Amino acid sequence: MMKLMGFSNFNSTKGKKTDGSVNAHAINVSQKRKYRQYMNRKGGFNRPLDFIA
């Protein structure tokens, strides 16, 4: 069964050094949300929305 699936054992690599794990990085960048006002706008709501850069 293991040979059929392509691996030799069911061991975990938790806490072990593996090839390629030296350069593995993850960055969690949170961006500030930009909201558009749909109602109660100057000039009324029945017009195109303002541009958001």
pLDDT tier at 8, thresholds 50, 70, 90: confident
Look at the alpha carbons of 9, 12, 17, 19 in this order and tell me if their dihedral is positive or negative.
positive
Tell me the pLDDT of the chain averaged across its residues.
78
User: What global pTM score does this model have?
Assistant: 0.29
Q: At residue 35, does pLDDT exceed 80?
A: yes
Whole-number pLDDT of residue 53: 61
What is the DSSP secondary structure assignment for residue 29, as one 8-state letter?
A: P
Q: How confident is the model at residue 21 (pLDDT cuts 50, 70, 90)?
A: low
Amino acid at 52: I
Backbone φ/ψ region at 17: left (φ over 0), alpha (ψ -120 to 50), beta: beta
